[in-house]
Structure 1
Amino acid sequence: MYSLRFSIYLIPIILTIIANNLVYSATAKAEVKFGTVKSPQTKFFQAQLLVQELSKVRTPIIQFSKDTYPEVNLPDITSGQIQVQENQYLTIITLPADLLFDSNKDTIRPDAKKILRQVSQAINNHYPNTWLQILGHTDSKGSKDNNLKLSEQWVAAVQKWLSEKGGIDMSLISKEGYGEAQPVAANQKSDSSDNPVGRQKNRRIEIVIQKVANHQV
Structure 2
Amino acid sequence: MIKHRLRPVFRLGIRVLVIAILAGGIQIATSTAASADPTASTWLKLRTCESSNRYGINTGNGYYGAYQFDLPTWRSVGGTGRPDQASPAEQDYRALYLYRMRGWQPWECAGMLALRSDGDARSKRIPTYAESAYIGGNGTPASGKPAWPGVVYAYGDCAPSLKTFQLRMNAFGYAFDGTGCYYDKTKQAVLDLQRANAINDSGRLGPKTWDAAWNGQPPR
TM-score (norm 2): 0.27
Q: Whose relative contact order is higher, 1 or 2, with alpha carbons under 8 Å and at least 6 apart?
A: 1
TM-score (norm 1): 0.27
Larger strand proportion, structure 1 or 2? Answer: 1
